Amino acid sequence: MSEGVNQADRPLVSDNAEVAAPRDLFSKFDEVIHTRETLLASGVEDPFSLVMERVLSPTRAVCNGRDTILLGTYNYMGMTFDPDVIQAGKDALDNYGAGTTGSRVLNGTYAGHKAVEEALKDFYAMDHAMVFSTGYQANLGIISTIAGKGDYIVLDIDSHASIWDGCALGNAEVVPFKHNDIVAMDKRLGRIPEGAGKLVVLEGVYSMLGDVAPLKELVAVARKHGAMVLVDEAHSMGFIGEHGRGVAELQGVIDDVDFIIGTFSKSVGTVGGFCVSNHPKFEIMRLVCRPYVFTASLPPSVVATACTSIRKLMHGSNKRAHLWENSKRLHGGLKGMGFTLGTEEPQSAIVAVIMPDLERGAAMWEALLYEGLYVNLARPPATPAGMTLLRCSLCAEHSSEEVETILGMFGRAGKAVGII
Amino acid sequence: MNRDEVDSSIRALIEPFNKKNVEIGDDTTFAGDLEFDSLTVMDFVAAIEDEFDIIISMNQQAEIESYGDLVDAVCELTEG
Whether B59 sits inside 8 A of A157 (CB atoms) is: no
Could you report the predicted ipTM of this complex, rounded to two decimals? 0.91
Interchain pair B57, A175: CB under 8 A = yes
Domain count, chain B: 1
Strands (E), A235-303: 259-263, 273-277
In which domain, by residue range, is B24 found?
3-79
Residue A143 burial class via C-beta count within 10 angstroms: exposed 0-12, middle 13-18, buried 19 and up: buried
B35 lies within 8 A of chain A by CB:
no
What distance in Å separates the CA atoms of residue A352 and residue A349, rounded to the nearest whole number? 10
SS3 A110: coil
CA-CA-CA-CA dihedral for A371, A373, A378, A379, to nearest 10: 10
User: Which residue intervals of A262-316 are DSSP H helices?
Assistant: 285-288, 290-293, 300-313
| C-beta atoms of A173 and B57 within 8 A | yes
Q: Please check the confidence at residue B66 and state whether its pLDDT lies above 50.
A: yes
Where does CATH 3.90.1150.10 sit in chain A?
44-77+317-417
Q: Is A262 helix (H, G, I), strand (E, B) or coil?
A: strand
CATH numeric code, A44-77+317-417:
3.90.1150.10
What element of type H or E holds A121? helix A111-124
Nearest to B46 among A184, A385, A386 (CB): A184
The angle subtended at Cα A36 by Cα A33 and Cα A37, nearest 5°, is 85
Give B49's contacts in chain A (Cβ within 8 Å): 187-188, 191
Q: How far does the CA of residue A146 sit from the closest CA of chain B (Å)?
A: 18
Domain containing B12 — which CATH number?
1.10.1200.10
DSSP character at residue B16: G
pLDDT tens for chain A, 420 residues long, are 444 444 555 555 555 556 787 889 999 999 989 988 988 888 877 878 889 999 999 999 999 899 999 999 999 999 999 999 999 999 999 999 999 999 999 999 999 999 999 999 999 999 999 999 999 999 999 999 999 999 999 999 999 999 999 999 999 999 999 999 999 999 999 999 999 999 999 999 999 999 999 999 999 999 999 999 999 999 999 999 999 999 999 999 999 999 999 999 999 999 999 999 999 999 999 999 999 999 999 999 999 999 999 999 999 888 999 999 999 999 999 999 999 999 999 999 999 999 999 999 999 999 999 999 999 999 887 888 889 999 999 999 999 999 999 999 999 999 999 999
Q: Is B62 on the interface with A (CB under 8 A)?
A: no
Say how far apart CA A121 and CA A403 lie, in whole Å. 35
- Domain A80-313 fold is Aspartate Aminotransferase; domain 2 (3.40.640)
CA gap A339, A316 in Å, rounded:
32
Q: Three-state SS for B56?
A: coil
